[in-house]
Amino acid sequence: MVLAQLGGSIARALQQMSNATIIDEKVLSECLNEISRALLQSDVQFKLVRDMQANIKRIVNLDDLAAGHNKRRIIQQGKTSVVMFVGLQGSGKTTTCTKYAYYHQKKGWKPALVCADTFRAGAFDQLKQNATKTKIPYYGSYMESDPVKIAVEGVETFKKENRDLIIVDTSGRHKQEAALFEEMRQVSEATKPDLIIFVMDSSIGQAAFDQAQAFKQSVAVGAVIITKMDGHAKGGGALSAVAATKSPVIFIGTGEHMEEFEVFDVKPFVSRLLGMGDWSGFMDKIHEVVPTDQQPELLQKLSEGSFTLRLMYEQFQNILKMGPIGQVFSMLPGFSAELMPKGHEKESQAKIKRYMTMMDSMTNAELDSTNPKLMNESRIMRIARGSGRSVRDVTEMLEEYKRLAKIWSKMKGLKIPKKGEMSALSRNMNA
Ligand code: GDP
């Protein structure tokens, strides 16, 4: 079995599991059998496959998981909930506290922020700045050095003010020190949070398991937020964090700004891990930004998987029209990372316009062809002459086309959800 097929088989097995509402012994066994079969067909040693099955079954203790799920404390609008944030320094904890507060504020909550990070100079200023920007009340002190005292005072103050979501930011340190954990434990004991959220930088990789476990052993972590998912890291560490804390990932951070914060959705995450791009977010985006009358046609073309130069031209037009470049296509890794890297929007636009000028010199037959061999040397030379560009420019554009066509072809046969279906699905998966 070639690698791509193996990837496909594993993805299908995982897909079946993620479609199941309840993951029980039977669903898990079926998934593992499916994966094992694919591995065996790929000549993976029998013993390795058998051990893997046994290991996974041992790690994934379904009874435990179910219990953990039931025990998970849930924050409820209307009554006051205290949510405590923990994580190492630099993980993005302070930023995430405000993002979390801001997200809930937009949903009608009355959040408030308490800065119990007395360790890092400037932590209070940072929180204050973010809170002011988002108009969220905050509490902290420049003088008091006891984080427990600040946390308790802050929580009490905001309870009196009938705030229904009180978020406590705690100190992070460079490494997992005993003092940090002791302080965290004390703050937790004194404020009795309804939920403790562990914040983890997606790029920490292999160290994720130990780090998450260390935090879980000190305080009752109930949820995980993975930050910096906009970077290069695939975020595989998130799986370790989930395993170590037996808690779900609830949000991901995708940038430094307040709005760059998303409800965690299993599907695009797994796709990203397997390098398949973010199809579900992509579909939602299409529904959101492509004019309704053009959607059926585009979706039809998507599911056919054939990507002509004309289709590329039309997508470029869409991109340029949309203002902030890359709204739709930034959802696809191939489109965003290489064609339109963040921070280079101007150059990207110029490049797209250049490509379009060259395509203006193409014939209808060339634009509508799905035959890559059609574009021979004499055609390339004619296009170069017609658009006043070099042969190299035209070749580059065609290379770009081939690359995008390859990404596009992966969507072939994709079942296209109707509007709203995908979001409903994401919600179910998060529930
Ligand atoms: P703390 O020490 O854990 O409180 O971390 P901070 O909140 O101060 O964040 C550390 C740095 O990471 C800051 O420069 C943040 O702007 C940045 N940061 C936080 N979350 C994200 C994210 O999701 N994406 C990116 N790119 N940067 C982030």
DSSP assignment string, 314-330: HHHHHHHHTSSTTTTGG
* Ranges 13-27, 30-44, 76-90, 372-386, most confident: 372-386
- Nearest ligand 1 atom to the CA of 260 is 23
**Contact between 324 and 422 (Cβ < 8 Å):** no
- How far does the centroid of ligand 1 lie from the alpha carbon of residue 93, in Å? 7
- Tell me the CA–centroid distance for residue 88 and ligand 1, in Å: 11
* Separation of CA 130 and ligand 1 centre (Å): 12
Mean pLDDT of 85-101: 94
* Rounded-to-5 percentages of helix, strand, coil across the chain: 60, 10, 30
Which one of 144-148, 187-191, 272-276, 409-413 scores highest in mean pLDDT?
Answer: 187-191
pLDDT for 16-39, tens place per residue? 766 665 667 777 788 888 888 877
Locate the ligand 1 atom nearest the alpha carbon of residue 252 and give its number: 23
- Pocket test residue of 256, 262, 264, 342 for ligand 1, highest count of atoms within 8 A of CB: 256
Least confident of 152-161, 191-200, 233-242: 233-242
Please check whether residue 214 is in contact with residue 176, taking contact to mean a CB–CB distance below 8 angstroms.
yes
Tell me what pLDDT residue 346 has. 78
Q: How far is the CA of 107 from the centre of ligand 1 (A)?
A: 23
**Res 359: pLDDT:** 95
Q: Which amino acid is at 390?
A: S
Poorest-pLDDT segment among 52-66, 297-311, 363-377: 52-66
306-409 CATH, one of 1.10.260.30, 2.170.190.11, 1.10.8.60, 3.30.390.50: 1.10.260.30
Q: In this model, does residue 358 exceed pLDDT 70?
A: yes
3-class SS of residue 223: strand
Check pLDDT > 90 for residue 155. yes
Sequence length of the chain is 431
Rounded CA-CA distance 302/426 in Å is: 21
Q: Which residues is 329 bridged to in the sheet?
A: none
Instruction: Confirm or reject CATH 3.40.50.720 for domain 73-264, answering yes or no.
Output: no
Which is the closest atom of ligand 1 to the Cα of 117?
Answer: 4
In the reported structure, the alpha carbon of residue 281 is separated from the centroid of ligand 1 by a whole-number distance in angstroms of 23
State residue 68's pLDDT score: 38
What is the pairing mode between strands 111-116 and 138-139?
A: parallel
Whether the per-residue pLDDT at 143 is higher than 70: the answer is yes
- The closest-lying atom of ligand 1 relative to the alpha carbon of residue 87 is 3
- Which of 91, 95, 227 is the best mutation target for the ligand 1 pocket, counting ligand atoms within 8 Å of the beta carbon and taking the most? 95
Residue with tokens 């975020």: 235
Task: Please report which confidence band the pLDDT of residue 431 belongs to, taking 50, 70 and 90 as the band edges.
Answer: very low
Ligand 1 neighbours (beta carbon < 6 A): 87, 89-95, 172, 227-228, 230, 253-256
Query: What is the model's pLDDT at position 419?
Result: 46
Q: Supply the residue whose CA is at minimum distance from atom 12 of ligand 1.
A: 92
Q: Is the pLDDT of residue 71 over 50?
A: no
Whether ipTM exceeds 0.90 = yes
Higher pLDDT, 166 or 291: 166
pLDDT, tens digit, for every residue of 160-203?
999 999 999 998 876 667 888 899 999 999 999 999 999 999 88
Please identify, in words, the CATH class of the domain defined by 3-69.
mainly alpha
Across the chain, mean pLDDT equals 78
Give the angle 402-403-409 at the CA atoms, nearest 5°.
Answer: 85
Query: If you write DSSP's letter for every residue of 227-239 in order, what string do you get?
Result: E-TTSS---THHH
Average of per-residue pLDDT across 350-357: 91
Question: Where is pLDDT greater, at 331 or 373?
Answer: 373
d(CA 368, CA 375): 12
Q: How do the domains of the chain map onto residue ranges? A: 3-69, 73-264, 306-409
91: CA distance to ligand 1 center in Å? 6
- How does strand 249-253 pair with strand 261-263? antiparallel
- Please indicate whether the domains covering 3-69 and 73-264 agree at the CATH topology level: no
Confidence category of residue 72, pLDDT binned at 50, 70, 90: very low
- Write down the pLDDT at residue 426: 35
pLDDT at 58: 73
pLDDT range class, residue 327, cuts 50, 70, 90? low
- Read off the tokens for 412: 């072939």
Tokens for 126? Answer: 């940072």
Alpha helices for 178-308 (secondary structure H)? 178-191, 208-218, 237-245, 266-273, 279-289, 295-304
